[in-house]
Amino acid sequence: MERSTQFGSSQQLTRRQLIRRTLAIGVALSSSASLLAACGGGAQPTPTPAPQAAQTPAAAAEDKLEIFSWWTNPGEADGLAALFEIFKQRRPGVEIINATVAGGAGTNAKAVLVTRMQGGNPPDSFQVHAGQELIGTWVVAGKMEPINDLFEQEGWSKVMPKTLLDQISYKGEFFSVPVNIHRSNMLWYNKKVFADNGLEPPKTLDDFFAVAEKLKAAGVTPLSVGGKDKFEVPHLFEDLLLAVFGPADYTKLFSEPSLWESDPRVDEAIEVLDRFLSFANEDRSALSWADAAQRVIDGTAAMTIMGDWAYGYFINKGAKAGEVFGWAPSPGTDGMFMWLSDSFGLPKGAPHRNNAIEWLKVCGSREGQDAFNPKKGSIPARTDPDRSVYDEYLLYSIDRFAQDALAPSVVHGAAANEAYMTEYGNALNVFSASRDKKQVKSMLIEAARELKT
C-alpha cells in the first residue's frame, strides 16, 4: 500500500491516508472504551457504585422494589407472584423488579448475589436459606441489618417455633423472615408396587432392609436415587444420620465437630448408607432427583427418599396423592422433622429500604404465607395458618411440624455454613461412586474442620 504512493500524487494520497488513520483512531478508541466498560462491569475487585448512586434521589428511589430469588420453576414462581400481589395491594404504584436467577438449588443465583453484594449493589431483599447459610455467610460478614423491631412490631416471635427463631438469630438479634418450611426426611413410595407385593411402608431401618429384599426379589428397583445435581446422596445420608443419631445428637454433630471422628455411630450411619445404596439404581449419577422420583410414579422403582418438593413434582405430573403414591417419614425418623426454610433478609444499604421493610412484613404475615405456601408446596413458618387453603399432604406436614422433634438440614443450608456443605457433599458424592467407607469417613472428618466458626 505504502509503495503505491511512489508514482501517484503524493499529496492527495497522504491526505486520504490521514483521513483513514483518523478513522482508525476513532474506531480503536471507541472499541477500547467499550471494552473497558464491559470489563469494568464484570470485574470483581473494583466496586461499581455508579448505578446505585444514580438511584439515590429519594423521590425516584421509593417507587421500586427489587426482590432477588432463584424461584423460576412452576409452583415456586407462582408462590412468589402471589406474594407480589399482596405487596402491590399494600403499596400500589411501586414497581417490583423480579430479579430471579435460574439454576439448580440456587447455585447460580448465589454466585450472582455474592458479586452484587461485594460490588456494593445489593437488591432490596433476597432469598436465603434460614440457618447457617444466612448466619455463617451473610450475618457474620456484617452484610445484613438486624430486624428485631420488625419482629416485635409484628409479633412474629410468638407465632413461630423457637427452634426456627434460634436459627435466624445471631447474638440475640433476628436477621431474616422465614416464609416457609420444607421437610426433607420423607419417603415416597408407589402404592401399586407395594400393594402387589403385600408390603407396608418401612418404619425403621430394619423394616427398610426387609422390604427392599422382597422388592429386589420381585424384580423392582427398591430405592430410586438421583445424583446429577450432587445433593441427592448427601441428602439421603443426612436422613440416615438423623435415623441413627436422633434429633438431639444429630444437631450436636454440627456444634461439636470432633464427634465426626470420635462417635462410632458415624461409622454405623456410613454402613447403613452403603446398604441403602446396594438397593439403589446404579445409574444415579446421570439422574436428577426428579428423574429418580419419576421412576417411582412410573412403577419401575418402589421408593425414593426426598424432600417434600417431590410432592409438588408428583402432583404436577398428574399423579394422584394416596392413589399412585404414598408417603411416610424416611425410615427410622418417625416423630422427627428435618426442616429447611426459605427466608428473606434486609441487606445493609438496600436502595429502597422502606419498601423492603414492607415486603418483609408481607413475607411474615399470615395472609402472605397462606398465599405463598399452597402454591410452592410447602407449609407456613407460622403456627397459625388458615388450614382451609392447604391440601391433604400439607395438612399432615403442618401437624407433624407442630408435634415432631425438629432437626436442621445440612444440604439445604440450615445446619452448617456453605463451605461445610460443599465439603460434606463432595465426600458423599465420591462415596456414591466409590463405596469406599474408609475414604468417606476421612473426608467427612476433613469437612468437619469447616464447622468451627
Partner 1 sequence: MAGKVAEQVRPRVARREAEARVRFPRVDRFIPFVVLAPSVAAILVFVYGFILWSTVVSLSRWQGIVPDLTFVGFRNYATIFTSYRFQSDLRNTIVFTIFFLIGSLVIGLLLAVLLDSRVRGESFFRTVYLFPMAISFVVTGTAWQWLFVPGTPQEPTGLNLLFRKLGLPVFIAWSTTSEVWPGGGWQPDWLRVPLGIPLAMLPVIIAAIWQMSGFTMAMYLAALRGIPDELREAARVDGASEWQVFRYITFPLLQPVTLAAVIVLGHISLKIFDLIMTQTGGGPGFATDVPGIFMYETTFKSNKYAEGAAIAIVMLVMVSVLIVPYLIWRLRTETER
Question: Which residues of this chain interact with partner 1, rule CB under 8 A?
Answer: 5-6, 10, 14, 18, 21, 24-25, 28-29, 32-33, 35-36, 39, 43, 45, 107, 110-111, 114, 117-118, 137-138, 140-143, 221, 227-230, 281-287, 300, 418-419, 421-423, 426, 429-434, 439, 443
Residue with cell 382451609: 388
394's grid cell: 400439607
CB of 313 to partner 1, least distance (A): 19
Element (H, E) at 188: strand 186-190
Nearer to partner 1, 33 or 210 (CB): 33
Nearer to partner 1, 2 or 323 (CB): 2
27's grid cell: 474506531
Nearer to partner 1, 259 or 430 (CB): 430
CB of 64 to partner 1, least distance (A): 25
- Contact criterion met (CB below 8 Å) for 341 and 331: no
CB of 424 to partner 1, least distance (A): 11
Nearer to partner 1, 141 or 402 (CB): 141
CB of 159 to partner 1, least distance (A): 31
N- to C-terminal Cα separation, the chain: 68
Nearer to partner 1, 29 or 402 (CB): 29
- CA angle at residue 445 from 329 to 443, to 5 degrees? 85
> What is the C-alpha separation between 437 and 56, in angstroms, rounded?
56
Chain center to CA of 38: 31
CB of 166 to partner 1, least distance (A): 22
- Contact criterion met (CB below 8 Å) for 301 and 292: yes
CB of 247 to partner 1, least distance (A): 27
- Residue 227 backbone dihedrals phi, psi, to 5 degrees: -175, -5
CB of 430 to partner 1, least distance (A): 4
CB of 20 to partner 1, least distance (A): 11
Nearer to partner 1, 229 or 358 (CB): 229
Nearer to partner 1, 153 or 439 (CB): 439
Which whole-number Å values give the CA distances from 7 to 1, 20, 244, in the listed order?
12, 20, 94
Residue with cell 478513522: 23
- Contact criterion met (CB below 8 Å) for 201 and 189: yes
429's grid cell: 458424592
CB of 286 to partner 1, least distance (A): 5
> What is the C-alpha separation between 138 and 428, in angstroms, rounded?
26
Nearer to partner 1, 33 or 102 (CB): 33
402's grid cell: 407442630
Nearer to partner 1, 53 or 111 (CB): 111
360's grid cell: 418483609
430's grid cell: 465420591
CB of 283 to partner 1, least distance (A): 5
Buried b (16+ CB within 10 A) or exposed e, 305-342: bbbbbbbbbbbeeebeeeebbbbbbbbbbeebbbbbbb
CB of 111 to partner 1, least distance (A): 4
Beta-carbon-side half-sphere exposure of residue 330 (alpha carbons within 13 Å):
25
Nearer to partner 1, 91 or 143 (CB): 143
- Contact criterion met (CB below 8 Å) for 65 and 97: yes
> What is the C-alpha separation between 444 and 432, in angstroms, rounded?
14
Nearer to partner 1, 6 or 403 (CB): 6
203: Cβ contacts below 8 Å, ≥ 6 apart: 328, 331, 332, 334
Nearest CA to 276 out of 328, 234, 236, 228 is that of 236
